[in-house]
Each structure stands twice: as C-alpha cells, then as structure tokens.
Amino acid sequence: MMTPMRYVVLVLVIIISLHFILSFSHEEYGRATSLSHISEQLAGSKGHPPYQDGVPEDRYVPSTTPIQSRKANATFVFLARNGDLAGVVVSMKQHQPGPVEDRFNKEFQYPYVFLNEEPFSDEFKDRVQTLTDAKIEFGLIPKEHWLQPDWIDEERATTARKDMVEHNVIYGGYVPYRNMCRFNSGFFYKHPLLDKYRYYWRVEPDVTFFCDLHYDPLLLMQDQKKVYGFTVSLYEYPATIPTLWDATKEFINSNPGLVEPDNAMRFISDDGGETYNNCHFWSNFEIGDLDFWRGEAYSKFFDFLDEKGGFYYERWGDAPVHSIGVALFAKKEQIHFFNDIGYRHNPFQHCPQGELHKKGKCWCNPKENFDYEWYSCLKRYDALFT
C-alpha cells in the first residue's frame, strides 16, 4: 500500500518529468508529434497560446478593378465525408451568406464542388444545398484516385504504420488519412467536375472565417496571375516525411529545367536546398490555380513522389507536397499571403491586425494571431521579398 504522502510525491515526480519531456525549445520544433500537442505547448496561463509578437505589415495592395462587373473562372472545392455534415454546415454558413462573401458571392454565386470517395447521402446534399443559391455539384472520387495502389508493398506499409503509432505520430496508423493526403496532393484537380475551372478555394469542415472581404480573392488570383494563396504557414512533423526531401532533390537533379529560376526555395530551405526546413503552407485553406497543379512541372513531380510510395511508406501530407511544389515551380511573387482573410482551423488562427482588422470588421481577437509565433513560417515568407 502506498501512503498518501508517497502518492503525492509520485504524482509530483510524474508531473515534473512530464514537464521536462514536453518542454522543447525553438530548435526542437521537430519533436512535436501532434497539433494538439503543440497547441498545449503554446498554451499560456490563459489557456491560449502566448501571442506576444507585434503587428504585421499590411502588405496587400487591393485590386482597383470594380468587383461587381466580373467573376473569376473558379469554384469552391470541398472534400468531405457524409459524417462531416455538421462541420460542413458550420464552414459554409460563414462562408456563403455570412460575412466572408457578403460582398461578392451573393451576386457572383461561385459554385461549389463537393467530393467524396463514397456517394453523398440525400441528407447531406439537401442540407448543404439549403445553405446557398449557388450551384453545387457532388462528385464521386474514382477508386484509382483514392485507394492505396496495388503496387504498394502492404507489408512495408503496415510496418511503417505500426512504427508511427508507437511513436505517437498523428494519424500515423490510418490508411484513409493517407488516401486523403495523396488525393489532395495529386488527384483532386483531375476530378472531371473541376475540369471547367481554373481557380479553386479549398474549404474544410469546422473552419472559421472572421472578416468581411472587400474584393474577390478568386479574381485577385486570376488578375494578378497568382498560383497559390495561404493564410497560415508552419512546420511539418519530420517524422511524417523522412525521405520527402531526398526524393525532391532527386527530382530537381534529374529535372533542373522544370525549376522556376525566381522560385521560393528560401521559404522551404535555409541552406540553399541541401535540407528541408519543414516549412509549409497550411493546406486546409488554399486558394489556388488548378492549371498549375495540372501543369508539366507539378504533374511530373507528383508522379515521381507517388512512385516512391512515401504517401504510404511514410505519411507524406498534401501540405508539404503542395508547398514544395509551389515553392519550386512557381515564381515567388505568385504565392500570395491573404493577410486580410481571418481564418481558423483548430488549433491555429490568423487574425488580421491593425487597419486590416478594422477594415474587415473582423470578429477574431487580434491578440490571437499565429503569424509570428515561433512555430509559424511567415517570417520566412516575408524574407522572400526583402
């Protein structure tokens, strides 16, 4: 039997050791294994991250074109399961008649494309259609775009998953999550329902949009020939991508002509391409150019990565794969930070600061802003333009 005193001492020892195990410095960001873990690390005494850094520059130059007269060749893209319905409604309700699109989508009615590897239920379709007057198309993902290809060595994949579970790698044991990452990396833009569009805005369940927009971000992409737009950037867990950078270097070496000379390599590498610094744009929010993904450079890059099998032998995410692709094959000016779009996907959010916050009538707390937290990569994006 343990005496109460011993019990207290034991608990204290456990708490103190946990504290040491969990605390890590800036250099050790790679040890994090899950987002909730990181968010715990960031949580200050008030239960939210200690957002302590200054107000970022307002670097967006608004388009002077009146928005009422024109519309981009674009759609919203929403990958979801039937079980995601509640979260889909939350994301769309703010997205559609809510603040984000008040300024333009009522008039322009950008359509939505919903994709799923299973047929959407009637309940799902009915409830989603109720939320908007815009056209919604529901698409089925072909099996060969979704399932683990049969040339993947299942034994090797199983071992890798077990290993990741043992090491507490987030989603490390899940095949469907890997299917999703591979689909988002290399197949969503090949879906026939997206053929007729050039630009897309990716939306996920349970995200929050905080501000009014006074221009059409899809038209901004089209008019300013942007390729990729983001709101949050951060580090990937190295445990999910041990050989992704080696594969990338191999690809670059055998296809030097595909790399854009005016690229954003400095966003993803601190040593001129020798190593990956793990920075990536957080792809649960994306506004992008589908033709860029469909183009020669990215297509070849994706096929090359797919052949390596890292989506299954490791757990390559669509965020690092997209980010590396964009950083290497687009001009750095074609990557756009949507500073004025207040956005949250748990556990992180971008909240516009200062004048932008006022202008957008944003309802996020400006102090809760990930931009210049130590785990954010935005400073590396800024450095591209200085």
Ligand X SMILES: Nc1nc2c(ncn2[C@@H]2O[C@H](COP(=O)(O)OP(=O)(O)OP(=O)(O)O)[C@@H](O)[C@H]2O)c(=O)[nH]1
Question: What are the tokens at 189?
Answer: 């833009």
Q: Does 286 qualify as catalytic in the annotation?
A: yes
Q: Which is nearer to ligand NAG, 88 or 194 (CB)?
A: 194
Closest CA to 34 of 244, 320, 346: 346
Give the separation between CA 113 and CA 134, rounded to whole angstroms. Answer: 11
Residues 274-293 as x/- pattern, contact with Mg ion by CB under 5 A: ----------x---------
Q: Which part of the chain contacts ligand NAG (CB under 6 A), choosing from 194-202, 216-224, 305-313, 329-337?
A: 194-202
Specify the long-range contacts of residues 261-264, CB closer than 8 Å, at least 24 apart.
262/331, 262/332, 262/333, 263/327, 263/328, 263/329, 263/330, 263/331, 263/332, 264/326, 264/327, 264/328, 264/330, 264/332, 264/335, 264/381, 264/384
What pairing do the DSSP bridges indicate for beta strands 335-337 and 228-230? parallel
Apex CA 268: angle with CA 381 and CA 281, to 5°? Answer: 60
* 73 binding partner (options Mg ion, ligand X, ligand NAG, none; Cβ < 5 to 8 Å by kind): ligand NAG
Q: Which is nearer to ligand NAG, 40 or 107 (CB)?
A: 107
Residues 55-74 as x/- pattern, contact with ligand NAG by CB under 6 A: ------------------x-
Q: Is 309 in the site for ligand X (CB under 6 A)?
A: no
Give the separation between CA 120 and CA 81, rounded to whole angstroms. Answer: 8
By CB under 6 A, the residues from 57 to 96 that bind ligand X are 79-81, 84
Are 281 and 326 in contact by the 8 Å Cβ rule? The answer is yes
Q: Which part of the chain contacts ligand NAG (CB under 6 A), choosing from 191-199, 243-251, 325-333, 364-372?
A: 191-199
Q: Which is nearer to ligand NAG, 128 or 330 (CB)?
A: 330
Give the separation between CA 175 and CA 231, rounded to whole angstroms. Answer: 28
* 180 binding partner (options ligand X, ligand NAG, Mg ion, none; Cβ < 5 to 8 Å by kind): ligand X
What pairing do the DSSP bridges indicate for beta strands 74-79 and 286-289? unpaired
Selecting among 101, 236, 286, 314, the annotated active-site residue is 286
Q: Which is nearer to ligand NAG, 53 or 291 (CB)?
A: 291
* 79 binding partner (options Mg ion, ligand X, ligand NAG, none; Cβ < 5 to 8 Å by kind): ligand X
What pairing do the DSSP bridges indicate for beta strands 233-235 and 279-281? antiparallel
CB of residue 197 to ligand NAG, shortest distance in Å: 6
Instruction: Establish how many alpha carbons lie within 13 A of residue 193's alpha carbon, considering only the half-sphere containing its beta carbon.
Output: 21
The residue from 120, 138, 188, 197 that contacts ligand NAG (CB under 6 A) is: 197
Q: Which part of the chain contacts ligand NAG (CB under 6 A), choosing from 21-29, 192-200, 267-275, 316-324?
A: 192-200
Residues 198-217 as x/- pattern, contact with Mg ion by CB under 5 A: ------x-------------
What is the phi/psi pair of residue 335, to 5°?
-100, 120
- Residue count, binding to ligand NAG (CB under 6 A): 5
Give the separation between CA 341 and CA 230, rounded to whole angstroms. Answer: 9
Residue numbers of the site for ligand NAG (CB under 6 A)?
73, 196-198, 291
Residue numbers of the site for ligand X (CB under 6 A)?
35, 79-81, 84, 116-117, 176, 180, 204-205, 284
Active site residues: 286
